[in-house]
Amino acid sequence: MTAPTDMTTHLDAVLSRMTLAEKVGQLNYPSGAGGGIAGVAEAVDVPTMIRRGMICGISAGDDLAARRELQRLAVEEGPNGIPLFFGKDCIQRYKTGGPIPLALSCTWDLDLIGRIAAMCAREARADGINLNWAPMLDICHDARWGRIAEGNGEFPYLGARIAEVVVRAYQGADGDMARPDRFMATLKHFMGYGLARAGRDYASVEASPATLARIMEPFRAGIAAGAGAVMVAFNTINDIPVTAHRTLLQDVLRKRLGFRGIIVTDFTAIDPELIHHGVAEDSRAAAYLAFKAGVNVDLVSQAFLNHLPGLVADGIENPAAYTGPDGTYRFGPVTEAEITDRARQVLEAKWRLGLFHDPYIGMDEALRERVTYTAANRALVREAAAKSLVLLKNDRDVLPLRPDRGRIAVIGPLADDRIDMQGTWAIDVDPTKSVTILEGLRAQAGERILHAKGCNIVDDPSLAARLNMHNRSMPSVIIGPDTPEAMLREALEVARSADAILLCLGEAKEHAGESSTRADIALPAAQRPLFDSLSAFARTSGKPLILIAMAGRPLALSHEVAGVDALIWAGHLGNEAGNAIAEVLFGRVAPSGRLSQALPRSVGQLPLRTEDLVTGRPIWGAGVELAEDTALDAKGRHWFRKFTTACILEEPMTPLFPAGFGLTYTSFRYGPLRATSTHLRGAGELTVTVEIANTGPRAGTEVAQAYLHDLVGQTARPRRQLVGFERITLAPGETGTVAFRLTPDDLRYPVGDSLTDLRHAWEPGEFELLIGANAEDVARLRFRWDRA
């Protein structure tokens, strides 16, 4: 058969042959082959559904042969020969496990992130996966939320740049996905999922249109880069479930952002979740609301399959029932023309993937062997893991350690844990191929490395069972066999025999991820006695104490930072975690990670947002020291110059470590800011440069960051807003220059009282550009912009 050459002509012909039921089938994505899933009443007979044209794709088959056979059924025995999607959650990794996205974003290295994403696409497409349920672009300010691990930090600007890079790496810079090393990106979760109240997964979201517009920037960027799919969020926004939110999905996503791809629900988001939300009385009503909102593909629930044909027939027979201003069915009847349009969009996505030309693209055993878990892939994830480590403290320059001098006690439940190194959503990563921290250190320092477990990750058996839920056959969170007291005694004995102590504490991989909210973001309680005992021992003995805090979220480490000489925050780093950590600890690689999310002092600071709005009483003016240090303003009112605890009684308002913060094994000095002008006019461009000198003894990488502050606007403006960053690597004594270019586009901000009224404003006036090593340590330059 001759391969089709024109998409419109070919799809017109396919659609003309399809029955209404077969078109609806292209909007149905049930559970995987051979079994049911939450929200599906009975097991899904996938082969029969394929033969009847009732299915557009599946998350099915753990091996290539199974996927090939299902694709053969679709194209050879299906009524119209339409190939299948095979989708999976490849959250920045497929077979070769690299750092979780939150950790990867701490590299601020877009080239590296792009190479990791390209590796993921290459491995997955060679295994038959053509549709990826990633990247996750949700902006979050509350570290209690478990899915913060899957995101790219708190900055919309950084998230937008990462979205562009990842989409182009998945789909190709030219958008040609008909290749065996590319697959389709799904931007998720549109919208507001990361703003869940108190970090409780799936909880409601209350957010202004301007706030939604700010956190929408990563989606805007991903759509502009050509993303083929968008997944809607589970949550409600301002009382309306996003799955049924016509304004968000049609007026904003389709019209304002210009998205032309497919809109998919999250799993079971139609049925039963719209029923649970209380906006639909039954599955039929839920299907109607989601379809009328603009959804293309129903994941798992099969509500579209079960009810759309009947809704079309009912609309023809009883159109008056769909014309009233009130009630569930107020948006007019469902028509076959609408279903045809939605099915066309699904078929267009399959065309873009090359499936109508070759439905078996990439399904090649030999290709899979050549591109999966290769030496180059392992080297890449090792590089990424090392670059994602964030050095937060290094008193007495205790780091780097010497592998050839002294003994090092490696203590903690994560020291020899290869499973939790993978982090959440490492569905297809083989943990047996992972290198633990202990193994990585021993590979470089041999017998000088001593070891003790010290404590359990958690002591609660019920919590341990929950943390092992996705790896029950190979549990990582194991209680015992020794008692906590016995493990602590052993740890102290090992510490006494060593010259330096490395503590490996933090979270199991399932402490983070979906449905993994934490009430407290401190170290798990079972680990605190070990920390306190070793901190006290190190203080009295004078032995260096280094803490690696591994987690899927920012942790509150106020207590710990005061009790250690050196502190590293590490996300879950993947297969090469142990080797990467050893390279950084021993100085073979200098740390270069910078926080993409501020670390709070305590859970009481949450939500914590670096780009927070300026308040009527700024934190630097709301104090308690009134008697000795006040001043009068021009109207005779008291103005507080000093503050101690501001509005929080127990601790400062500032984060423990600001976003953008990170140390290395050298030091940098910033010169004065220099601008081509301090007056930007019209559509002109302003360039601001700064010289950065490496004043320390080692080579190192600095991440210079630029933040904008609009002094006066129609609405309250953030105290600072990230607008640029540059990585620069300098030898000892070397000086380099970084440049930041601003145009009026960088000055725009969202205004409007509703989502339909939302627009971006460009206002003449005074601005400040803040440039420095992190969000707090900055130099300021004031400039003005006028329209002409």
Q: Concatenated DSSP letters for 187-199?
A: EEEETTGGG-GGG
Q: Classify 16 as helix, strand or coil.
A: helix
pLDDT at 637: 46
Written as six digits, the tokens of 651 are: 């601790």
User: d(Cα 780, Cα 672) in Å, to the nearest integer?
Assistant: 9
172 to 159, 164, 262, 411: CA distances (angstroms): 19, 11, 18, 44
Annotated catalytic residue: which of 138, 142, 266, 364? 266
* Section 21-43 average pLDDT: 68
Strand-pair partners of 232: 190
Per-residue pLDDT tens over the stretch 743-785? 999 999 999 889 988 888 888 999 999 999 999 999 999 999 9
Burial class (CB in 10 A: 0-12, 13-18, 19+), 54: buried
pLDDT at 61: 61
3-state secondary structure string, 655-707? CCECCCCCECCCCEEECCCEECCCEEECCCCEEEEEEEEECCCCCEEEEEEEE
484-496 and 528-541 helices cross at what angle (nearest 10)?
A: 20
Written as six digits, the tokens of 366 are: 């030999």
* Section 414-425 average pLDDT: 96
Strand-pair partners of 505: 549
Count of other CB atoms within 10 angstroms of residue 531:
22
Per-residue pLDDT tens over the stretch 587-596? 999 999 999 9
Q: Is the pLDDT of residue 513 over 60?
A: yes
Strand-pair partners of 57: 85
Inter-residue contact 155 to 611 (CB < 8 Å): yes
Return the higher-pLDDT residue of 4 and 310.
310
* Section 501-526 average pLDDT: 97
User: d(Cα 345, Cα 349) in Å, to the nearest integer?
Assistant: 6
Query: Is-cis flag, bond preceding 191, omega within 30?
Result: yes
User: d(Cα 173, Cα 156) in Å, to the nearest integer?
Assistant: 22
Work out whether strand 298-299 and strand 57-58 pair parallel, antiparallel, or are unpaired.
unpaired
Burial class (CB in 10 A: 0-12, 13-18, 19+), 275: middle
* Section 159-165 average pLDDT: 98
pLDDT at 2: 64
Per-residue pLDDT tens over the stretch 77-106? 999 999 999 999 999 889 999 999 999 999
pLDDT at 461: 95
**Where are the alpha helices (H) located in 544-692, listed in sequence order?**
558-561, 577-585
User: Which percentage of the chain shows pLDDT scores above 70?
Assistant: 94
User: d(Cα 96, Cα 258) in Å, to the nearest integer?
Assistant: 34
pLDDT at 652: 82
pLDDT at 648: 63
Task: Work out the pLDDT band at 615, boundaries 50, 70, 90.
Answer: confident
Q: Is the pLDDT of residue 632 over 60?
A: no
Inter-residue contact 434 to 474 (CB < 8 Å): no
Task: Work out the pLDDT band at 60, boundaries 50, 70, 90.
Answer: low
Within 158-301, strands assigned E span 186-190, 229-232, 236-237, 240-241, 262-264, 298-299
pLDDT at 535: 98
Q: Is the pLDDT of residue 179 over 50?
A: yes
Query: For residue 562, which amino acid is it?
Result: A
* Section 254-275 average pLDDT: 97
User: d(Cα 148, Cα 194) in Å, to the nearest integer?
Assistant: 7
Half-sphere exposure of 159 (CA within 13 A, CB side): 28
Q: Worst-scoring range by mean pLDDT, 341-355, 401-415, 548-562, 642-656?
A: 642-656
Query: Does 109 qualify as catalytic in the annotation?
Result: no
433 to 331, 570, 579, 772: CA distances (angstroms): 54, 20, 12, 40
Q: Is the pLDDT of residue 619 over 60?
A: no
User: d(Cα 761, Cα 176) in Å, to the nearest integer?
Assistant: 35
Phi, psi of 157 (to 5 degrees): -65, -50
* Section 612-616 average pLDDT: 86
Per 3-state DSSP, the chain is made up of helix, strand and coil in percentages (nearest 5) of 35, 20, 45
C-alpha of 281 from chain center = 34
Written as six digits, the tokens of 719 are: 């105290």
pLDDT at 44: 74
Say how many Å lie between the first and final Cα of the chain, rounded. 62
pLDDT at 33: 44
pLDDT at 729: 98
Task: Work out the pLDDT band at 325, boundaries 50, 70, 90.
Answer: confident
Query: b/e per residue, 479-511, with b = 16+ CB within 10 A?
Result: beeeebeebbebbbebbeebebbbbbbbbbbbb
Per-residue pLDDT tens over the stretch 203-246? 999 999 999 999 999 999 999 999 999 999 999 999 999 999 99
Strand-pair partners of 408: 449, 500
User: d(Cα 763, Cα 397) in Å, to the nearest integer?
Assistant: 48
User: d(Cα 381, Cα 99) in Å, to the nearest integer?
Assistant: 7
Inter-residue contact 659 to 595 (CB < 8 Å): yes
User: Which percentage of the chain shows pLDDT scores above 90?
Assistant: 87
Taking Cα atoms as reference points, which of 252, 259, 303 lies closest to residue 281?
Answer: 303
User: d(Cα 488, Cα 464) in Å, to the nearest integer?
Assistant: 19
Query: For residue 374, which amino acid is it?
Result: T
Count of other CB atoms within 10 angstroms of residue 59:
22
pLDDT at 651: 80
Taking Cα atoms as reference points, which of 589, 567, 544, 591 lies closest to residue 657?
Answer: 567
Q: Classify 553 as helix, strand or coil.
A: coil
Phi, psi of 722 (to 5 degrees): -60, 130
Per-residue pLDDT tens over the stretch 636-668? 544 444 433 445 667 888 999 999 999 999 999
pLDDT at 634: 52
Q: Is the pLDDT of residue 37 over 70?
A: no
Per-residue pLDDT tens over the stretch 268-295? 999 999 999 999 999 999 999 999 999 9
Inter-residue contact 509 to 422 (CB < 8 Å): yes
Structure-token match 């016995």, residue found: 486
User: d(Cα 600, Cα 561) in Å, to the nearest integer?
Assistant: 12
Residues in Cβ contact with 725 at an 8 Å cutoff, skipping those fewer than 6 apart: 108, 158, 703, 704, 705, 706
* Section 693-720 average pLDDT: 96
Count of other CB atoms within 10 angstroms of residue 788:
6
Task: Work out the pLDDT band at 614, boundaries 50, 70, 90.
Answer: confident
pLDDT at 5: 78
Q: Is the pLDDT of residue 39 over 80?
A: no
Return the higher-pLDDT residue of 388 and 472.
388
Per-residue pLDDT tens over the stretch 300-323? 999 999 999 999 999 999 999 998
Strand-pair partners of 230: 187, 263
63 to 68, 146, 364, 422, 604: CA distances (angstroms): 9, 30, 11, 21, 46
Q: Is the pLDDT of residue 399 over 50?
A: yes
Alpha-carbon radius of gyration of the chain? 27
Query: b/e per residue, 451-474, with b = 16+ CB within 10 A?
Result: bbbbbbbbbeeebbebbbeebeee
